[in-house]
Amino acid sequence: MKEQIYWLVRLSEIDDAASSVQQELSDLPTQLEETRTSHSRLQLLLEGEKKQLAEAEALLLQQKQEAAEIGERLSRAKGKGAKAQNAREMEAAEREMDGLRRNARDKEEEQERLNAAIGEKRETMAGRQAKFDDFAALYEKEKASAEKRIAELQAELAEKTQGRDNYVGQLPKTLFKRYERIRTKMGNAVVEAKDGTCMGCRLQLPPQQYNLLFRGNEVDQCPQCVRILFVRDAIAEFYVSDPNYQAPPAQEAEEGAPEVVDAEKTVTATSEA
């Protein structure tokens, strides 16, 4: 059982050391996704405006064709007026021409309105297109740097989690699942019990529980923060005999158990974070 506690501690040391890398790795795609969403929203907006512009241009063309037709009808009406045989025919031709002239004026006004609207739309679209181009360039840049950073982080993560599988493989499945459950909930799953206190949440542990932790006969959890507890002395021997454990180079010393000192620092630092 003591050995299982040691494997849990090692697993936790590895995971705690890798947690900031893991966090950044999971945050990066989210950030990029946000930019990508803005990018497609802008693109959609721009496409909508392009469509509106095309519609206005089609309408203008139609108005011009109709104006030309009115022009033709007007010249025909004029011809009729010139050939009028009597006052009644003359009057009818005049009335027709008045109507057509009014029509022509309306079409002219409509064309002016459309021309103005098209001009305005072209201008706003040019501005929007420029902004979109800037944004697209920014997005590409962001994407490239995120991809580069993700590759770096993955390499870093692989390095930091080296040997993790060894410890996972040693643990009973249910215990590993419990470890992962606590880690997901609390950020870190294993903390030291020191001077009668849980170093994860600072709870003063019941003396009997603290005493039992020294024996290391069972995997016990803090009654308050539910993290798995261990007492350093109960597992210190395993660091020395563990072929998968490498003491950090800076911590090499002759006396005592230097690895343990370093591990303690790691655990304390992360549990306080």
Contacts with Zn ion by CB under 5 A lie at 198, 200-201, 203, 222, 224-225
Checking 33-41 for CB contacts under 8 A at 24+ apart, the result is 35/138, 35/139, 35/142, 35/143, 36/139, 36/143, 38/135, 39/135, 39/136, 39/139
Nearest Cα neighbor of 196 from 181, 211, 180 is 211
8 Å CB contact between 118 and 53: yes
| Distance in Å, CB of 10 to Zn ion, minimum | 20
| Distance in Å, CB of 271 to Zn ion, minimum | 9
| Distance in Å, CB of 186 to Zn ion, minimum | 9
Of 65 and 224, the one with the shorter C-beta distance to Zn ion is 224
Of 22 and 221, the one with the shorter C-beta distance to Zn ion is 221
Of 146 and 203, the one with the shorter C-beta distance to Zn ion is 203
| Distance in Å, CB of 226 to Zn ion, minimum | 7
- How would DSSP label each residue in 203-241? -B--HHHHHHHHHT-S-EE-TTT--EEE-HHHHHHHHHH
8 Å CB contact between 198 and 228: no
| Distance in Å, CB of 7 to Zn ion, minimum | 20
8 Å CB contact between 77 and 96: yes
Of 32 and 201, the one with the shorter C-beta distance to Zn ion is 201
Angle formed by the axes of helices 2-82 and 87-160, to 10°? 170
Nearest Cα neighbor of 156 from 247, 42, 22 is 22
| Distance in Å, CB of 230 to Zn ion, minimum | 12
Of 193 and 257, the one with the shorter C-beta distance to Zn ion is 193
Of 146 and 201, the one with the shorter C-beta distance to Zn ion is 201
